[in-house]
Amino acid sequence: MKKLNYIDAIRGFAVLGILMVHTGQYGHFNVPAMIRNIVEQGARGVQLFYIASAFTLFLSFKTRINQEHSSVKNFFIRRFFRIAPMYYLGIIYYIIQDGLGQRYWLGDADHISVANIVSNLFFMHGFYPYWINSLVPGGWSIAVEMTFYMILPFLFLRIKNKNDALLFFIISIVIKTLLYVFLSNFPLVTDKRLWEEYLFMYFPSQLPVFALGVLLYFYVMNNEQDYRLSGKFLLFLGLLLWIQLATGIDYLFPSYLFWAIAFFIVALALSRYSPILLVNPVIIYIGKISFSMYLVHFAVLHWLLYFNFTDYFSSDIANYIIRFYIVILLTMLISSFTYRYIELPFQKLGKKIIDKKETKHKV
């Protein structure tokens, strides 16, 4: 598969945004509102990850579907060995670090149950509000990502061009909105805030973001098939935007979806013009180890707080900047190790399993 440096750079910026927002949640952070808002929007790095993921998954599937006998099975093998080993290590580590006791994401439950752990092992924790983010910090996004993996072969066989991808984007917005309206009125848990956060995190809410990644794939990789976008689809999309602007109802296009649209434009631009300021060896390397960094940085912040090493001067802005760089450096150091000795070896193991299966079919 062709290596695209700007995609690794996008992952790098995504994980730095996530580190940025979480760094502000540890230690003092009494800063001007504008700075606080900028820092808090680093959380949108998750949506940037999703766009890059959908793009690369479609590219990978396209590359291998005609080359492998069992391309769908091989896809799931690759995805498992790409995600599971590091995530399973995260499960073990965070149980040791945080124990099995009550925490915010457990809602009414007073401890991490066996069912919760098992759901995380099978990446099914995204389907239950009390499990989606209570075991591994940030584990909700892994659940959503793995759910997208499950439907990707189906999508790949049915989305063939830009118009199909645009229709998928529109349908995903409609599905997300209808579910939100229904589930907002019929909550399944008693904690209103927890339920609202779940309705943001769960898979249907994030599906339009993945759809933008699919649309990006067709814009970047299928230039020779210059399909003109359907006027009907564009008109319907415009009407949805008009309804939101006219009524003030903001759940058709929530703010994170506008961020995702902006990310789509930037990613498309980087596919055609990649300045060294944005696409360079440092940010590309951060992108390569970004999955480890995503799981590791929560532990780094935990131990900085444990040893009371989150604030250094009287200025909260200075403290934040220093803390942010410390978190980046320590997270990169640990993640370089886990990437080399956990991620890469298990990816190679998955490749060996696939190569062995494919060789048998060729004999």
* pLDDT the model gives residue 224: 54
Residue 111, pLDDT > 70, answer yes
What are the tens digits of pLDDT across the range 240-249?
Answer: 999 999 998 8
* Model pLDDT, residue 1: 46
Range of the domain at 259: 5-362
Count of alpha carbons within 13 angstroms of residue 64, beta-carbon side:
22
247 token code pair = 């009524």
Structure confidence by residue, pLDDT tens digits, 53-77 = 999 999 999 888 888 888 999 999 9
- List CB contacts of 207: < 8 A, sequence separation 6 or more: 148, 172, 175, 176
Coil, strand or helix at 111:
strand
Query: Is the per-residue pLDDT at 338 higher than 70?
Result: yes
pLDDT interval class at 87 (50, 70, 90): very high
- pLDDT tens digit sequence for 27-46: 999 999 999 999 999 999 99
Can you read off the two tokens belonging to residue 96?
């040791």
Single-letter amino acid code for the residue at 116: N
Determine the 3-state secondary structure of 101 from DSSP.
strand
Mean of pLDDT over the chain: 94
For the cut 80, the answer to whether the pLDDT of residue 331 exceeds it is yes
Question: Residue 363 — very low, low, confident or very high, per pLDDT cuts 50/70/90?
Answer: low
Query: What's the average model confidence in pLDDT over 252-279?
Result: 96
Encode pLDDT of 127-141 as tens digits. 999 999 999 999 999
Question: Are residues 232 and 162 in contact, defined by beta-carbon separation less than 8 angstroms?
Answer: no
Dihedral, CA atoms, 154, 159, 164, 170, nearest 10 degrees? 30
CA distance 254 to 148: 20
| In contact, 63 and 31? CB cutoff 8 Å | no
How many structural domains are present in the chain?
Answer: 1
pLDDT, one tens digit per residue, over 144-170 is 999 999 999 999 999 999 999 999 999
Phi and psi angles of residue 69, each rounded to the nearest 5 degrees, phi first? -70, -40
pLDDT digits (tens, 9 = 90+) for 199-225: 999 999 999 999 999 999 999 987 555
Question: E strand or H helix at 237, and its extent?
Answer: helix 231-247
